[in-house]
Structure 1
Amino acid sequence: MFAQEAVDHSATVARHLPYLRRYARALTGNQSSGDKYAIAVLESIIADPTLLGAHPDPKVSMFSVFHSIWSTAGAPVTDAEDHLSSAAQAHMAGLTLNSREALLLNTVEGFDHDQVAAIMGSDPSEARHLIDVAVQEMERSVRGSVLVIEDEAIIAMDIVAIVEGMGHRVTSNARTHTEAVEMAAAEKPDLILADIQLADNSSGIEAVNEILAQFGNIPVIFITAFPERLLTGERPEPAFLINKPYTEEQVRSAVSQAMFFSSTATLRA
């Protein structure tokens, strides 16, 4: 019985871990830093398996353990390893406490207000307020130019409308690897928003890697129907990843987060 329970816990944790890692990475702005918190969650659950049953939904329980550790640590972004990280920390100081966490939990991870409240140890009305505040504060933080790499015309038009509605400028919409690299070379973007699979069966990841090899630090948001394929822990992973089908709120949140941390137009100042 005990062995079966341990197996069940292991399967549950494994199922939700990629999304916990995604959240941690977006929250800290750094893959290695985010993974340290995810590991701390696993260690806590191993030491006390009852933590996984603190809420009827074990995913909520896992995120609650994470939030407890994150809050206790003082909610640091990353060590200021470079100018961009230092600038991001400076921006962080101006945000309402816990608002960015609530926004990510709701719009990217898909938790409702009751679940966000349970994770953060607050009440649903406070969670709703924090989400509203985060949207307003982060969208005011930065503005920049965006390269969209998406081969499906309707989806591309939708993404462009969302991004421009936030006040950003879309430089181009590329449908293939070659177009993406050429458009980035013609005008360096502050942010890249890319699909994984492109029109000519080329790879959005390869296109992005080629662009980054030329320009260096440009924040990237990937959109994919199979996020778990990029959240394996076996190689460097994107800090910002949106599931297909996506919602407008997910796109807005990820764009705000990515621009907030790394916009070459704003964080350079």
Structure 2
Amino acid sequence: MASQAATDQPTVLVVEDEVIIALDLSETVRDMGYRVEGPYANKGHAFIAIDQEMPDFAILDVMTADGEVFPLADALTEAGVPIIFHSGHISECEIAKRYPNALTACKPCPPDKLIQMMSEANKRAH
């Protein structure tokens, strides 16, 4: 995508309304050498961000400060952006029915599993 060509770093959209988790996710993304877009506590701000620049992939909490993240996930899926759902509110089966190509990390997710999922999502983006 355009964002990676411009910076040579994949851009990762992070949408998470729990501050500590959002900071931890962002740090993990940066540690992998990726650029963080966000973190955003609500999907409204994330929509503004993707309108300006589509990320290479996204890490989304299901329940955000302004409701379920699914409208944002639909827009990202339509644009071909790989998604990692990071949530304690919905099962992997429920996600797989609606988003068969998405990856799912149930909270709390061990950092090594999340890192593996980010590597997979980045591969899918290219």
Bin of the TM-score, shorter chain as denominator length: 0.7 to 0.9
Structure 1, unpaired ranges of 5+:
1-141
Identical positions, percent: 27
Larger radius of gyration: 1
Q: CA deviation at 1:211?
A: 3.8
Between the aligned partners of 1:151 and 1:245, the Cα distance in structure 2 is 15
Q: CA deviation at 1:212?
A: 3.8
Residue type of the alignment partner of 1:204: V
Question: Moved runs in structure 1, 4+ residues, more than 4 A?
Answer: none
Q: Secondary structure at the residue paired with 1:171? A: strand
Q: State the TM-score, normalized to the length of structure 1.
A: 0.41
What residue is the counterpart of 1:261 in the other structure? Answer: 124
Q: Is the 8 A contact 1:144 1:259 kept in 2?
A: yes
Q: Is the 8 A contact 1:224 1:242 kept in 2?
A: yes
Residue type of the alignment partner of 2:20: I
- The range that moved more, 180-189 or 249-258, is 180-189
What residue is the counterpart of 1:230 in the other structure? Answer: 94
What residue is the counterpart of 1:124 in the other structure? Answer: none
Between the aligned partners of 2:31 and 2:54, the Cα distance in structure 1 is 21
* 1:209 is the counterpart of 2:66: no
What residue is the counterpart of 1:149 in the other structure? Answer: 15
* 1:164 is the counterpart of 2:30: yes
Structure 2, unpaired ranges of 5+:
1-7
CA gap of 1:231–1:152, structure 2 versus 1, over 3 A, is closer
Between the aligned partners of 1:251 and 1:259, the Cα distance in structure 2 is 12
Q: CA deviation at 1:204?
A: 1.3
Q: State the TM-score, normalized to the length of structure 2.
A: 0.83
Residue type of the alignment partner of 2:106: N
Deviations 1:110-164 (A, max 9, x none): xxxxxxxxxxxxxxxxxxxxxxxxxxxxxxxx94011101111100000000010
Between the aligned partners of 1:231 and 1:187, the Cα distance in structure 2 is 25
Residue type of the alignment partner of 1:248: P
Normalized per residue, the structure richer in strand is 2
Between the aligned partners of 1:241 and 1:150, the Cα distance in structure 2 is 14
Normalized per residue, the structure richer in helix is 1
Between the aligned partners of 1:179 and 1:229, the Cα distance in structure 2 is 28
What residue is the counterpart of 1:58 in the other structure? Answer: none
Q: Is the 8 A contact 1:242 1:251 kept in 2?
A: yes
What residue is the counterpart of 1:40 in the other structure? Answer: none
* 1:192 is the counterpart of 2:58: yes
Q: Is the 8 A contact 2:92 2:104 kept in 1?
A: no
Number of residue pairs the alignment of both structures matches: 118
* 1:248 is the counterpart of 2:114: no
Q: CA deviation at 1:229?
A: 4.9
Between the aligned partners of 1:170 and 1:209, the Cα distance in structure 2 is 20
Between the aligned partners of 1:147 and 1:251, the Cα distance in structure 2 is 14
Residue type of the alignment partner of 2:115: R
Q: Which has the higher contact order (CA 8 A, sep 6+)?
A: 2
Q: Secondary structure at the residue paired with 1:230? A: helix
Q: CA deviation at 1:193?
A: 0.6
Q: Secondary structure at the residue paired with 2:80? A: coil
